[in-house]
Structure 1
Amino acid sequence: MGRRRGAGKHVVVLGATFTLVGITGQALAGAEWQVLVSRVVMGAGEAAVFSGALPWVWRQFPPHRRGSASGLFGLSMWSGLALGPLVASVANLAGERAAWLLLAALGTGSLGFVLGCPSSGPVRLPPLRLRTLRVRGAAAPSLMFGLAAYGYGTLSAVLVLYLDSGPGGSVLGLPIFAGTFLLIRIAGSRVVDRVGGRTVAAASLIVEALGFVVIVGTDSAAGALIGVALVGGGCSLAFPAAVSVAISRSPRHAAGTAVAGMTSFWDLGILTAGVGGGLLAMTFGHRAAFVGALVAAIVGLVVALSPYATERRSRMREDRRMRDE
C-alpha cells in the first residue's frame, strides 16, 4: 500500500489544468472536431476536479459530519451552473472573444487558488487495479441517486414545453425549481448527519414523487409550479443523502472512488430522462413523461428502503464513538 501526500489536491490541480486547456482549445478552435476534442478534455477536467475536491474536503471533517459537508460543498457546483450562463452572457455583450477571455481568466484563477491551498495531508491508497474501481456497497446509493436525477432531467427536458402548451407559467418553472433546490440544500444539509442518509434519501424521494403527482394531477399554473417546487425540494438533498450512505457502506480508502462513481449516475439519470422523457412526451403527451419520472422516484424509494442501502452498523458505531469523544 503506497503512501501519497495531498492526493486530492493533486487530482484537483490536474483537473483544473485540463479544464483550462479545454477552454483555451474551444476559444482557438477553427473546426468542429477541435471544439469536440476540447469539450472532451474540459469534461474530463471537470470530472477530475469534483472527484478530487470532495475527498479533499472530507478530510477536514469527522465521518459523522461528511454528509452535511458534501451537501454544502455541492452548492459550489450549483452556484457555478446558475451564475455561469449569466456571467458569460454579460461578457458576450463585449464580443465572443471577451467571453472566452473571461472564462480563461476564471479557469486560471481557479487553478491558482488551488495551488495556493494546503494539501490535506498524507493519504494511504491501495495499488490502482481494475477491480479497485468497483467499490463494495456503492451500488444502492448510486442507483438511488440516478433515479432521483431522472426527475430533474425530466423537468429540464419537458417542463417548459408542458407549461407553454397548457397551464402557463413557463418563465417561472425552472427558477422555482432552482430556488427551492438551493434553499432546501442550504437549510437541510445538516439534517443528513442527524437522522442518517437513508432516512433523508427516502424522505427526499417521497417529496419528489409527491411533486410529480401534483404536476400530473393539476391543470392550473399555480398547481404545476407547486409540484415543481416539491420536486426541487426532493432533489435537493439526494446528493448528500446518497453520499452519506455510500461512505457508510464503503471501505474508508475507497470513499472517493465510491462517490465519484455514484455522481456519474446523476449524469446518467439526466441523460436517460432526456431521451426517455422526450420519447414519452412525443408519443403519449407531456404528462406521460412526468408519470415516468414518478415511477423512477418510486423505484428509487424502494431502493432507499432496501437492506442494501442500510448504513453498516460497524461504521455507525464508530461515528457514534467519535461524537461521544
Structure 2
Amino acid sequence: MTQENLHHGAAAAPQATVEANPVLRLLPLTLTVFIGFLTIGLQLPVLPLHLHDTLGMGTLVIGLVVGAQFAAALLSRAWAGNFADMRGGKRAVMAGLVTAAVSALVYLVSLGAVATPVLSVWLLLVGRVLLAVGESLVVTGALGWGIGLVGPQHAGKVMAWNGIAMYGAFALGAPLGVALNSGWGFMGIVVASAFIPLLALAVVAGVRAVAPTATRRTPFYTMLGAVWVPGMGLAFCSVGFGVLTAFIALLFAARDWGNASLAFTAFGLAFIGARLLFGHLPDKIGGARVALVCVVIEAVGLLLIWGADTAFIAYFGAALTGFGYSLAFPGFGVEAVRRAPPQSRALAMGAYVAFLDISLGITSPLAGVLASGWGIEAVYLGGAVAVALSFGVALMLLRSRGIQVQYKS
C-alpha cells in the first residue's frame, strides 16, 4: 500500500465513523438544547395568562411582549452567528445558557413591580430580550457546532434533531409550566427558568468542541442574500407556529375548553414524531420536495383550529400543524445550507433562522390586532393563508433546482 493510500485510508476512517453514527454524535448536543429550551417551554402557556390576568393587559400588549423575543432574536442573529463561527459553537451555546439564566432574574424583579403593571411589563420585556439573545446564541451555536461534528452532508439531520430537542422541550415544558403556575404561581416559572439553563451547562461541558471555522466577520447582509429564497419559505410557514404559541391559551380560555397546554403537547409530540420517522427525507430526496407536502399539512391543521367547535378538533389541528411545520423547517433549511459557504455555516444558519424571527416578530402583534377586530379564532385563518404562500416558495425552489440540473447536464 502506497503512502498516498495510507493517508487516504486514515482520512476515510473518521469520515466513515461520522457517516455511520451522525445521530449518536449529536445526542449530547441534542440533550443540551432540550434542557435549555425547557426554559422557553415553561413560559409558553403561562406568560400570556400572566400578562392578561395578573397585569390586566389586552391582546395587543400580549402580542407585543411575546413578539419582542423574536424581534430581539432577529437583531442578535448576526452577532451570534459570527461569534459561533469565530469563537466556536460550544462557547456560543454556553454563553447563551448563562444569558437565559440571567433573564429569569429580570423576571424576578418584574414580580416585585406587579403593583405597577406598566413597569412590570417593561421589565418582562427586558427579560424577554435577554432570553432572546440567549436563545439566539444557543440555536446558532448548536446548528453550526452540529454540522461541524457530523459534516454538511447531514445538515438536515442536524436541523431535525435540534428541532426535536427544541419542540420536545415545548411539549414537555408547557404542561410542566401550567403545573408550576398552578402550584406556585409565576414565581415557580421564574425559579425554574433560572436553574434549568445551569443544568444544561453541566451537560454541554462534556461535549467535544469543534474548532472555529472563520477568522474574520462575514457581513450578515451577504448571507441573507444567499439564503433569502428558502428563508422566505421558512418565514411564511412559521406564521402557523407563531399564532399557535401566542394565542392558543387565549382561544381555549375564550371557549372555556379547559387545559390549553395539551394543544402545545399535541403540537410538540406530532413535531417530534414527524422528525423521528421522516427526518432523513430532506437529506435523501431534497428539502424542497419535503417542504412542498408538509406546508399543505400545516395549513390544514390551522384551518381545523379556525373552525373547531370542540377542544378535541383544536388538539387535532395543533397536531397537524406541528407535523407539517416539523419537516418544512429542515426542508427549507437544507436548501439554505446548499447556498452557503462552508466557513460560515453558523452565520448561514443564523441568517436562515432570522427569517423565522422576522416572521414571529411580525406575526404576534399583527395577530393581536386581528384578534381584537375579528376574534381570537381569526388568527388561525390568517395563519393558514400565510402558510399557503410557502407552498409557492417550495415550487420556486423545485423549479430552480430543475433549471440548475438541466444547465449542468
Distance 2:208 2:89 in 1: 11
Residue 232 (structure 2) pairs with residue 143 (structure 1): yes
Distance 1:23-1:304 versus aligned 2 partners, 3 A rule:
same
Contact 1:9 1:52 in 2 (8 A): yes
Mean Cα deviation higher: 77-86 or 229-238: 77-86
Cross-structure match for 2:38:
none
Distance 2:187 2:250 in 1: 33
Contact 1:14 1:45 in 2 (8 A): yes
Residue 95 (structure 2) pairs with residue 14 (structure 1): yes
Distance 1:34-1:70 versus aligned 2 partners, 3 A rule:
same
Residue 156 (structure 1) aligned to one of 245, 253, 268: 245
Distance 1:222 1:35 in 2: 33
Distance 2:165 2:203 in 1: 15
- Measured on the aligned residues, the alpha-carbon RMSD in Å equals 3.6
Distance 1:180 1:5 in 2: 36
Distance 1:162-1:49 versus aligned 2 partners, 3 A rule:
closer
Residue 64 (structure 1) aligned to one of 145, 148, 153: 153
Cross-structure match for 1:108:
198
Mean Cα deviation higher: 38-47 or 190-199: 38-47
Contact 1:214 1:224 in 2 (8 A): yes
Cross-structure match for 2:318:
228
Distance 2:300 2:131 in 1: 37
Mean Cα deviation higher: 268-277 or 62-71: 268-277
Paired residue secondary structure (1:127): coil
Cross-structure match for 1:52:
141
Residue 280 (structure 2) aligned to one of 178, 190, 201: 190
Distance 1:87 1:138 in 2: 36
Contact 2:174 2:265 in 1 (8 A): no
| Percent identical residues | 27
Cross-structure match for 2:46:
none
Cross-structure match for 1:40:
129
Cross-structure match for 1:78:
167
Contact 2:100 2:194 in 1 (8 A): no
Distance 1:94-1:187 versus aligned 2 partners, 3 A rule:
same
Distance 1:293 1:262 in 2: 20
Distance 1:35 1:96 in 2: 12
Q: TM-score, normalised by structure 2?
A: 0.64
Residue 286 (structure 2) pairs with residue 205 (structure 1): no
Cross-structure match for 2:208:
118
Q: Which amino acid aligns with 2:141?
A: G
Gaps of 5+ in 1: 316-325
Distance 1:103-1:226 versus aligned 2 partners, 3 A rule:
closer
Cross-structure match for 2:39:
none
Distance 2:186 2:374 in 1: 41
Residues 105-134 of structure 1 show CA distances to partners (whole Å, capped at 9, x for unaligned) of 4323322332332212x3331521535663
Distance 1:154 1:105 in 2: 29
Q: Number of paired residues?
A: 311
Residues 41-66 of structure 1 show CA distances to partners (whole Å, capped at 9, x for unaligned) of 33312211111111111122232322
